[in-house]
Amino acid sequence: MGTSVGSSLTACSKLFSLQRLAQIVRAQVVVETRGTPVASPSRSGVFDQATDHRVDRFTESVSFDRRLYAQDIRGSIAHAEMLAKVGVLEADECQQIVMALQDIGGQIRADEFSYSEQLEDIHMHIEQALIDQLGDVGRKLHTGRSRNDQVSTDLRLWVRDAIDRVDQRLCALQKAFVSRCEQDADVILPAYTHLQRAQPVLASHYWLAYCEKFDRDRSRLIDCRKRVNRCSLGTAAVAGTTIPIDRWDVAERLDFDGIVSNSLDSSSDRDFVIETAFVLTLIAEHLSTWADEWILWSTVEFDFIQIPQEFCTGSSIMPQKINPDVLELTRGKTGRVIGNLQTLLTLVKGLPLAYNRDLQEDKPPLFDSFDTVEICLELAQPIVEGARLKRESIAAGLENGYLDATTLMEFLVKRGMPHRSAHHLVGQIVAVARNRNARLSDLDVGDFQELNSDLDESIFEVLGVQNSVNAFLSEGSTAPGQVAVQLTQWKQKLGMEAS
């Protein structure tokens, strides 16, 4: 038996080693195989010594910025077409460049493109591939631009697309919550403050609360997108260019709302990255709040909700466990998104104008925040759609916790009693009920009159959670009529058919 176990462990160890090796190989930058390696593009003729090979490995960013390839090609095509318009390129040269760039994009999409540490980033890879195809015609493309404005433009294009994706996922999640409202229309839940039972609310009121949070997130994304959607291309390295370019033409071709006005600012600006990361952080925070609440609700102690089992996992030792791991990881991954924002804030805190190589490090935290929030949103929608409220369990304990106490207090206020007097009296009534292990509605009128002789049978009109919910009046409250109005408004806002 010992030999068998030892052999199994050895085999597992070898398998793990091979798998790990494969992961490392896949993660590494593939070495360029198209002829003689090209010198680093940042080293012009002024240098008389080659770059240390360790510097190539230290400074490369193509291992993570290659995901900007589509935006780089689109921006380069717009730049080439503008150069042709102003007469810097001949029409046939522009056509050659556009066709070659489209071909390069196809190679990258098909995973048939090779990468080299010596070419540093995706921008130089695409330009070098263009030069390999077209020679001197390809060398003309970079006229009137720098990698500084090129990178900024590509990143703005990528962030703009990513913002739109996140907004669509937030909208889908809102629709999932709205769809639950009619399904759970007759369910009343205890609302909590300080994690203590406070007042009764309709389940649909709960769901619409999350719609409000995610709507603020969407509003922030839209507002942030306005500042993202400015074209940097043409500001060049730091001071602009003497080439007679047309920046507005490029902006129009790339669907930007306008151009970045100051070349110094353009070269150094990463406000749009940080602002986007902040909005993503708030989205993650809201998802974490929701996840944490449903984790609690799914426990035996609360027993309010059943999470769809396809989004849960088991235990390696306890066969009865159904763990809400997706919700827990949603809560946990929020820490990554918060950390990414902190990284970006620290990255730019002391940089002098204008461009500094530090800014290369803006992309990993930004990409990770988008990736993390997007997968959390992708999983949140089906969890919301598939979860089931445990109605019997909720109803069995709903009258516990004196959820109707505030409604009783306000009933007394409406009858002319000062607020603080009513607050004190109801506190005394609750103390009597608690000492008897009874609900407020279990007391008889004599019990109330012992504390205040003016009380009569009418107080029972507001006791009990259903009466309490029905008593609400204020706009935005959990009153059934108010919730119905809000639900109709949300359906209209989200383009959902009214029932």
What are the per-10-residue average pLDDT scores of the chain (499 residues)? 40 42 38 42 73 90 97 98 98 98 98 94 98 97 97 98 98 98 96 97 98 98 98 96 98 98 95 98 98 98 97 95 97 98 97 95 98 98 98 96 97 96 97 96 95 94 96 96 97 86
> CATH 1.20.200.10 region(s) of the chain?
147-396
- Please state, in angstroms and rounded to a whole number, the distance separating the CA atoms of residues 293 and 120: 45
Q: At the fourth CATH level, which superfamily is domain 60-139?
A: Fumarase/aspartase (N-terminal domain) (1.10.275.10)
What's the burial of 171, exposed, middle or buried (CB within 10 Å: 0-12/13-18/19+)?
middle
- The CATH T-level fold of domain 399-494 is Ribonucleotide Reductase Protein R1; domain 1 (1.10.40)
pTM over 0.75: yes
Give the pLDDT score at 53: 85
- Please state, in angstroms and rounded to a whole number, the distance separating the CA atoms of residues 193 and 208: 18
What φ, ψ does residue 476 adopt, rounded to 5°? 90, 0
> CATH 1.10.40.30 region(s) of the chain?
399-494
**Could you tell me which residues come within 8 angstroms of residue 262 by beta carbon, excluding any fewer than 6 positions away?**
235
What CA dihedral angle connects 236, 261, 276 and 221, to 10 degrees? -140
**Could you tell me which residues come within 8 angstroms of residue 369 by beta carbon, excluding any fewer than 6 positions away?**
276, 277, 280, 281, 284, 336, 337, 340, 341
CATH annotation of 147-396: 1.20.200.10
Give the pLDDT score at 497: 78
Note if 4 is an active site residue.
no
Give the pLDDT score at 4: 40
Q: Which of 162, 178, 157 is nearest to 373 (CA)?
A: 162
Please answer whether residues 283 and 373 qualify as being in contact, where contact means their C-beta atoms are separated by less than 8 angstroms. yes
> CATH 1.10.275.10 region(s) of the chain?
60-139
Indicate which residue of 4, 44, 194, 474 is catalytic.
194
- Please state, in angstroms and rounded to a whole number, the distance separating the CA atoms of residues 177 and 327: 16
Report the interhelical angle of 203-228 vs 271-297 (nearest 10°).
170
Residue length of the chain? 499
Give the pLDDT score at 15: 40
Note if 315 is an active site residue.
yes
Extract the tokens encoding 4. Answer: 């068998």
Please answer whether residues 117 and 56 qualify as being in contact, where contact means their C-beta atoms are separated by less than 8 angstroms. yes
Indicate which residue of 7, 13, 42, 315 is catalytic.
315
Please answer whether residues 320 and 21 qualify as being in contact, where contact means their C-beta atoms are separated by less than 8 angstroms. no
